[in-house]
Amino acid sequence: MAKDAKQAEEGAEAPPKKSKKLLIIILAAVLVVVLAGGGAAFFLLKKSDHAEDEDGTEETTKTTKKKDKKKEKDAPPIFVNLEPFTVNLIPETGDQYLQVVLALELADAHAEPDLKVQMPKVRNNITLLLSGKKASELLPKEGKEKLAENLREEINAVIDPSTKKAKGEKTAAEGPVKSVLFTSFIIQ
């Protein structure tokens, strides 16, 4: 009887171990099936989204453009301050100097690394442009505005050469630099 009791106890213990292993195997199989189904659904839905994008209804295109414009308007402006420039001006009444500090307003944050990489060229071209001016050209407000526009075009031509204009042609106000601002302007 003792042997029968031991066998009964071993028999009682053995089936739960087998059922736990079987339960773990079943759960793992179910988990694999669920994950595979979820992954397949994700890729199918993602693929259908791309198909809709390619078909592109005009309404979604218009709303996307409106959202992009809104983001551009809502985005804070990006300014880059340049080191001061001190140059000799073309002499009119003796030696005259110009000291100017500039801030550049960029179209987007992606233009800043390009500007930093090209900074030696930018500084050189600005120095050459400034040293070719007369004090009488720069004193009136219109002269400063024209100088700011010339500086903007020169900087854009260095950063993005495709914006450079041919002689006699006017370019649109496109390029990485939206405007050039004077934070200090001293003529002596």
For the stretch 132-141, pLDDT in tens is 999 999 999 9
Q: Residue 168: is its pLDDT beyond 50? A: no
Residue 187: which residues within 8 A CB-CB, separation 6 or more? 89, 96, 97, 98, 135, 138, 139
Which one has a higher pLDDT value, 45 or 119? Answer: 119
Which one has a higher pLDDT value, 83 or 2? Answer: 83
How far apart, in whole angstroms, are the C-alpha atoms of residue 3 and residue 15? 19
Mean pLDDT over 48-71 rounds to 55
pLDDT digits (tens, 9 = 90+) for 61-102: 555 555 555 555 667 889 999 999 999 999 988 899 999 999
Mean pLDDT over 144-157 rounds to 95
Mean pLDDT over 42-67 rounds to 60
- Whether the model clears a pTM of 0.85, i.e. scores above it, the answer is no
Burial level of 160, CB count in 10 A (0-12/13-18/19+)?
middle
